[in-house]
A and B are shown apart, each in its own frame.
Chain A
């Protein structure tokens, strides 16, 4: 490693160690630092271009170097975490229920891991991946689907009767988790945008675009079933644009949105409603804006309220 890389690494390490970022997942930390570098370019450039750092370099060169090092540092922490999460939390036995003659679960798992590693080379996909990752990591799917199957109301009906998932509760959970992890695959077709949004602007992903993205995914993921890829891509589409979106896709949309910058250790003030209850309540009022399924929100709100989540 040359001197510049060493200095860049040291600088990035210091930024990553900032206590304000402690609670975030590695991808969110990375995103925060990139934002910081962009918004403080004018202050940072004179010093970073001096003799002690990167003499003679332009700001874009310095920025690219810092971002590259930052991504390397993030990957060193995040990829093992991701592998562990998939290995521990995701069982692909559900694929055999979706399409007969599908290969072994282990093959699907390996394919998914490989695909995600490739996908995460795209900055916009990295940004979009943090929330779905947190949704799986913090157990939203397990927690809520458990309650959904006990309640046996709207969501249960949508999953079993409309989407016709003839599989066990655990397998449905796994399918929703896989949907979440594949959701950022929509960025296969996006072009290196520097737009900082991590969640697609409501209605920005049209059903046709999602369909095209599913085609691209199909080319890269030979083992995973079509229904899963469709569910993953449709989770980026507004429910108002397409009322026929799969229930798993709608659930993935909600869980990803809920997990956006989620702080599991955040203290709930006395006199305040619980975090999930508050979030679902606000989401119910904004369901048209974000293209959420209001009936699902109502049920998830009820579950959150009853369980004090």
Chain B
């Protein structure tokens, strides 16, 4: 027996989860949009940190649900029937592989950029697991647990299931494709670009001993290589395209690349690749949203029209004495099994019910013993 207090607490927590889901969708959009719009690092860092806290929140939510499922010995039911697997996929991997490292990079980022850059390998890890961010879109499915878009639980479950399948297939396809691309060495443009920067660094390193050649090459690179940000020689900055304030304001983790060769260290601008990635991410986000909206607005009414509504009408007709409304049979669905059944209900059952149990036999004032006792006791006390 659940106490009213616990029920209230559960309701509050469920409302909190719904709010978090809605907010995280906004956050997901903003995270990519801020990159495309070229927002400064401060605002983007806030959005990224918010993403980290959302991942943390959903991870805790998943662990709590799993804990109670274990306590109640319903782990499989939670993971499979109640879509716990979606809770898992939309939280733990993201926290470990995506927002966790990002947050770490953010915290350490400032010192990294202007410092030695040795720990920048961390960003390579982040880059490697950028694929994991695709899993964020799975959160949209989480909404279905809470969304009451139809009165019929069957319709609700059915629409939620097909939507979950569609979104999961899309997300996993993207994930698998990205994984394949990595394993087949189908390097994205950013990798080719990094390789080129490595060559530049090696070339500069070979010229480091020839001061005049080095200065001439640097001058040439300044005009031809617009993505080159900083060149350091033996730890000393010999070239910087912008001042430190600009770097601080507009370069966050992932916005710049780092490479070294001998005594040469290069920092280069990766923001155009970040923008491309953000644009792609927004496209996927829109795709997932469109799939969900299409199922909700197109498939859900069709399912209601052809399955749950006729069943609801027939159930009421079978259960309630006075309910004698016929099932509406759309011409184009007349051949469906369900509507053939509905035709039998309309043409055979309802007339039979009408003949065998006239409406006037059914008392409306159907009070039970308790009601009568209460009525009489009210009389006695009045």
Contacts and interface: CB of A to CB of B under 8 A. Distances in A.
Interface of A: 7, 10-11, 14-15, 18, 20-21, 24, 31-33, 35-36, 39-40, 43-44, 47-48, 52-53, 196-199, 260-261, 268-275, 277-279, 281-282, 285-286, 289
A261 B327 CA distance: 21
Contacts of A15: 365, 375
B243 interface: no
Q: Say whether chain B's binding surface is mostly helix, strand, loop, or mixed.
A: helix
A161 to B, nearest CB: 31
A44 B376 contact: yes
10 contacts: A14-B379, A32-B364, A40-B367, A196-B360, A197-B358, A271-B304, A282-B326, A282-B350, A285-B350, A285-B351
Nearest to A285: B351
B325 A268 contact: yes
A273 B327 contact: yes
Contact of B325 (A32, A44, A278, A289): A278
Contacts of A31: 360
Nearest to A46: B376
B145 interface: no
B351 A271 contact: no
B333 to A, nearest CB: 11
Given A36-B367, A281-B346, A261 B359 contact: yes
A271 B372 contact: no
Contacts of B325: 268-269, 272-275, 278
B326 A269 contact: no
A19 B38 CA distance: 63
B57 to A, nearest CB: 37
Nearest to B151: A270
Contact of A273 (B328, B347, B365, B379): B328
**For A15, A40, A268, A282, which residue has the most chain B Cβ atoms within 10 angstroms?**
A282
A277 B366 contact: no
Interface in B272-314: 304-305, 308-310, 312-313
Given A15-B365, A24-B364, A271 B328 contact: yes
Contacts of A52: 379-380
